[in-house]
Amino acid sequence: MVTIVWEYLVKTDCIAEFEKIYASDGKWAELFKKGKGFVHTRLVHHPDRPNQFLTVDEWESIKDYKAFLSQWQEEYKALDNQCEYLTEHESCLGTFGVSFNDKE
């Protein structure tokens, strides 16, 4: 299992739209579902900072995640560009897994 975690600082007037797009049934999850090995995505926010969010995306393996990025890169970039105005800042906190011994 591989987990990719992103942090977002969302513009205050865009929080509702951000939550809709990044939710477990939002546009990002719909795109991820096209990839083999996608498990789920979760959206969580900081209890004291209403504009700070994390997405937690889980995949069966790093190989599946990399294959998804390769196969769906145009759609990924297009959606990322469409969502850019929602945030003040975004950062990938890392890719975490039990084992990264998957064959690439």
Full domain range(s) for residue 10: 2-97
pLDDT for the residue 16: 97
Contacts for 3 with CB less than 8 Å, ≥ 6 apart: 56, 57, 58, 59, 95, 96, 97
Mean pLDDT score, 35-45 = 97
Residue 102 lies in a domain: no
Residue 103 lies in a domain: no
Domains contained in the chain, number? 1
Q: Can you tell me the distance from the alpha carbon of 79 to that of 93, in angstroms, rounded to the nearest whole number?
A: 20
Residue 74 lies in a domain: yes
Residue 104 lies in a domain: no
Reply yes or no on whether the pLDDT at 104 is more than 50.
Answer: no
CATH code at position 50: 3.30.70.100
Residue 80 lies in a domain: yes
What's the chain's average pLDDT?
Answer: 94
Residue 54 lies in a domain: yes
pLDDT for the residue 38: 98
pLDDT of 22-38, one tens digit each? 999 999 999 999 999 99
